[in-house]
């Protein structure tokens, strides 16, 4: 028995050791909170004096959350620090995470009644939040003067409206297009794509790349499925249709869908775009490993603000962009995209939250850091202000955005249930790609099921 006890004691001892090591090296949460406030205080020139000036105002704490990578996290932290200098009575707590984590956490926070005050918003999700009453109607803080949108073009403001209510304002606007590397085209001896190319030009170019490379290179990524926007959405809008109508119905015809999927199916059968399995393999690959960066395809579709991310991946050539292919004799498909800021409905300090957004999108002190981090600033004065600060790749992005922006027209936001329809769209597209369904069957099934989803 004594031997047994000895080993138990030894075991207990080692646990205690573990705990002491941990306890010594770690601060309790309270300590941790204290250590943060010190560096912030030193940032201010003379905190006491500033506090006196604002003594009348009560201290307010708001929370701001965003998605981003490490560079953006540093950047936004710095912007928030500057805001706190400017408004010493407002403390801003920062919460951030990568794209996927961000939405998981935000959903839980909103559902759990603990939503941050200022949240980063995106077109993919804004319907889900706004239509369920999670976001504040921003017109009240615009009217009160806390949020100034005078320098914002009407079209940019409209891109944040759902059913005429303003739910979000753009931090930056961006436009999608197709990107290519000049070095790859030069080597193959193929002309660069034209800025105003059509879908026919696109198909021809993709085939040409495939043939001239002797089959070692696919023309472009497969754009038939995945997210229906921007690719398919542009296609419907060029036909005078859209993904959804204003009253929340499917906005395009079965014929358009058949045309779309047939176009891709032909290219796939020719071998000009990747086969289904390869396409799937790379579908969710990180940027550094996607088909364009690893040199498997020559053209890919990206939002303009990512040009400089892509440029960093290549030692040779220049990454350039052209418009989304147009429809011969059709309308313009363009609509404004971007990254946005919203205030949550349950925020206890909407005015302070609005002051923060105002600082973020209107002040030079913020924009000289932001530059074009999430797209070109929507405010016309600010987009002029950041221009001289840009690197060449960022400059190309801004030039592209400004060239394409005039084509943009207002676009309707998705109804509830859109997420499910997106899934259906992508499922059907891969059924075609894997040869499980013909284009006609898949399109027919899509229309029936999508309508059933919207009827619910």
Partner 1 sequence: MNKLKQAWRNNWVGYLFLSPWLIGVLTLSAIPMLASLYLSFTSYDMFTPPKFIGLDNYATMFQDAKWRDSLRVTSMYVFLGVPLQLIFALAIALFLNRGISGLKFYRAIYYVPSLFGGSVAIALLWRQLFGSKGLVNSFLTTLGFETKNWIASPDTALYTLIVLMIWQFGSPMVIFLAGLKQVPIELYEASKIDGASKWKQFSRVTLPLITPVVFFNLVMQIIGAFQAFTSAYIISGGSGGPLNSTLFYTLYLYQKGFTHFQMGYASAMAWFLLLFIACATAILFITSKKWVYYQE
Partner 2 sequence: MKKDTVYEVRTYSSTSISKLSKKLLKHVLIVTIGLGMLYPLLWLFSSSFKPNTEIFQSNSFFPQTFTLDNYKQGWSGLSGVTFGKFFANSFFIVAMCIIGNVIACSMAAFAFARLKFALRKMWFAIMLITMMLPFHVTIIPQYIIFNSLELVNTYVPLILPKFLAVESFFIFLIVQFIRSIPGELDEAVKIDGCGPFKLYIYLIMPLALPALVTTTIFTFIWTWNDFFGQLLYISEINLYTVALGLRMFLDAMGQNSWGALFAMSILSLVPLFAIFIFFQRYLIEGIATGGLKG
Is residue 337 within 8 Å of 230, Cβ to Cβ? yes
Which of partner 2, partner 1, none sits in contact with 26, Cβ below 5 to 8 A by type?
A: partner 2
Question: What is the per-residue binding string for partner 2 in 300-339, x denoting contact by CB under 8 A?
Answer: ---------x--xx-x------------------------
Instruction: Give me the least distance between CB of 275 and partner 1, in Å please.
Output: 8
Which of partner 2, partner 1, none sits in contact with 2, Cβ below 5 to 8 A by type?
A: partner 2
98 binds partner 2, rule: CB under 8 A = yes
Return the range that interacts with partner 2 (CB under 8 A); candidates 45-53, 60-68, 147-155, 160-168: 60-68
Cα dihedral 129, 132, 135, 139, rounded to 10, equals 120
296 binds partner 2, rule: CB under 8 A = no
Cβ atoms within 10 Å of 329's Cβ, excluding its own: 7
3-state DSSP assignment of residue 162 = strand
Q: Give the residue carrying structure tokens 């690893």.
A: 294
280 binds partner 2, rule: CB under 8 A = no
Which of partner 2, partner 1, none sits in contact with 423, Cβ below 5 to 8 A by type?
A: partner 1
Instruction: Give me the least distance between CB of 187 and partner 2, in Å please.
Output: 17
Nearer of residues 246 and 285 to partner 1, judged by Cβ: 285
Instruction: Give me the least distance between CB of 156 and partner 2, in Å please.
Output: 20
Nearer of residues 116 and 377 to partner 1, judged by Cβ: 116
Return the range that interacts with partner 2 (CB under 8 A); candidates 69-77, 170-178, 196-204, 324-332: 69-77
133 binds partner 2, rule: CB under 8 A = no
Dist. CA 149–CA 378, nearest whole Å: 10
From the list 378, 234, 230, the residue with the least C-alpha distance to 301 is 230
Choosing from 41, 53, 54, 111, the residue that interacts with partner 2 (CB under 8 A) is: 111
Instruction: Give me the least distance between CB of 110 and partner 1, in Å please.
Output: 6
Contacts of 3 (CB under 8 A, 6+ apart): none
Choosing from 44, 50, 73, 395, the residue that interacts with partner 2 (CB under 8 A) is: 73
Dist. CA 122–CA 354, nearest whole Å: 18
Which of partner 2, partner 1, none sits in contact with 213, Cβ below 5 to 8 A by type?
A: none
SS (H, E, C) 361-419: HHCHHHHHHHCCECEECCCHHHHHHHHHHCCHHHHHHHHHHHHHHHHCCCCCCCCCCHH
Contacts of 162 (CB under 8 A, 6+ apart): 126, 127, 130, 131, 413
Which of partner 1, partner 2, none sits in contact with 452, Cβ below 5 to 8 A by type?
A: none
Choosing from 112, 133, 388, 406, the residue that interacts with partner 2 (CB under 8 A) is: 112
Which of partner 1, partner 2, none sits in contact with 436, Cβ below 5 to 8 A by type?
A: partner 1
Which of partner 1, partner 2, none sits in contact with 69, Cβ below 5 to 8 A by type?
A: partner 2
Instruction: Give me the least distance between CB of 113 and partner 1, in Å please.
Output: 10
Is residue 375 within 8 Å of 338, Cβ to Cβ? yes
The number of residues making up the chain comes to: 456
104 binds partner 2, rule: CB under 8 A = yes
Q: Is 417 left (phi over 0), alpha (psi -120 to 50) or beta?
A: left
Return the range that interacts with partner 2 (CB under 8 A); candidates 88-96, 208-216, 355-363, 392-400: 88-96
42 binds partner 2, rule: CB under 8 A = no
381 binds partner 2, rule: CB under 8 A = no
Q: What are phi and psi of 416, to 5 degrees?
A: -60, 145
Q: Give the residue carrying structure tokens 């052209």.
A: 322
Cβ atoms within 10 Å of 286's Cβ, excluding its own: 7
Instruction: Give me the least distance between CB of 432 and partner 2, in Å please.
Output: 25
Q: What are phi and psi of 404, to 5 degrees?
A: -90, -30
Instruction: Give me the least distance between CB of 248 and partner 2, in Å please.
Output: 26
Nearer of residues 1 and 247 to partner 2, judged by Cβ: 1
- First-to-last CA distance in the chain? 69
Return the range that interacts with partner 2 (CB under 8 A); candidates 95-103, 153-161, 235-243, 255-263: 95-103
Instruction: Give me the least distance between CB of 295 and partner 2, in Å please.
Output: 9
Which of partner 2, partner 1, none sits in contact with 14, Cβ below 5 to 8 A by type?
A: partner 2
Contact set with partner 1 (CB under 8 A): 100, 103-104, 107, 110-111, 128-129, 132-134, 276-281, 283-285, 289, 416-417, 419-420, 423, 426-427, 430-431, 434, 436
Dist. CA 95–CA 135, nearest whole Å: 18
- DSSP class per residue in 296-352: SEEEEEEEGGGHHHHHTT-SSS-EEEEPPPBPTT-------EEEEEEEBTT-S-HHH
């Amino acid at each position: 028995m004594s031997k047994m006890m000895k080993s138990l004691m030894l075991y207990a001892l080692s646990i205690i050791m573990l705990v002491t090591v941990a306890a010594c090296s770690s601060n309790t949460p309270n300590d941790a909170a204290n250590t943060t406030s010190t560096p912030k205080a030193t940032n201010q020139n003379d905190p006491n004096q500033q506090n006196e000036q604002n003594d009348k105002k009560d201290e307010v704490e708001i929370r701001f959350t965003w998605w981003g990578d490490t560079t953006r996290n540093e950047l936004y932290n710095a912007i928030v620090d500057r805001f706190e200098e400017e408004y010493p009575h407002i403390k801003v707590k920062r919460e951030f995470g990568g794209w996927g984590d961000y939405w998981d956490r935000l959903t839980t926070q909103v559902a759990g009644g603990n939503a941050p005050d200022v949240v980063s918003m995106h077109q993919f999700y804004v319907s889900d939040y706004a239509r369920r009453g999670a976001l504040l109607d921003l017109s009240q803080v615009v009217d009160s003067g806390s949020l100034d949108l005078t320098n914002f073009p009407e079209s940019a403001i409209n891109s944040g409206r759902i059913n005429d209510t303003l739910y979000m304002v753009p931090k930056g606007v961006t436009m999608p297009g197709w990107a290519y590397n000049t070095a790859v085209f030069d080597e193959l001896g193929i002309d660069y794509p034209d800025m105003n190319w059509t879908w026919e030009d696109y198909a021809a170019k993709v085939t040409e790349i495939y043939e001239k490379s002797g089959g070692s290179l696919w023309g472009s990524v497969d754009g038939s499925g995945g997210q229906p926007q921007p690719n398919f959405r542009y296609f419907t809008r060029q036909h005078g249709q859209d993904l959804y109508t204003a009253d929340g119905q499917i906005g395009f015809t079965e014929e358009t869908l058949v045309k779309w999927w047939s176009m891709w199916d032909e290219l796939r059968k020719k071998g000009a775009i990747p086969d289904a399995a390869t396409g799937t393999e790379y579908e969710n690959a990180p940027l550094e490993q996607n088909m364009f960066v690893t040199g498997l395809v020559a053209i890919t579709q990206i939002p303009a603000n990512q040009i400089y991310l892509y440029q960093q991946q290549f030692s040779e050539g220049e990454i350039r962009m052209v418009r989304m292919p147009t429809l011969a004799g059709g309308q313009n498909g363009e609509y404004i995209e971007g990254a946005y800021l919203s205030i949550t409905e349950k925020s206890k300090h909407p005015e302070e939250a609005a002051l923060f957004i105002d600082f973020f999108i209107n002040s030079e002190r913020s924009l000289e850091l932001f530059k074009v981090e999430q797209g070109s600033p929507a405010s016309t004065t600010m987009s002029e202000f950041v221009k001289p600060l840009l690197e060449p790749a960022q400059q190309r992005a801004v030039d592209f955005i400004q060239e394409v922006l005039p084509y943009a027209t207002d676009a309707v936001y998705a109804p509830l249930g859109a997420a499910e329809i997106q899934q259906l769209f992508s499922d059907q597209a891969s059924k075609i790609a894997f040869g499980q369904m013909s284009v006609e069957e898949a399109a027919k099934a899509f229309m029936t099921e999508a309508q059933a989803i919207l009827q619910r």
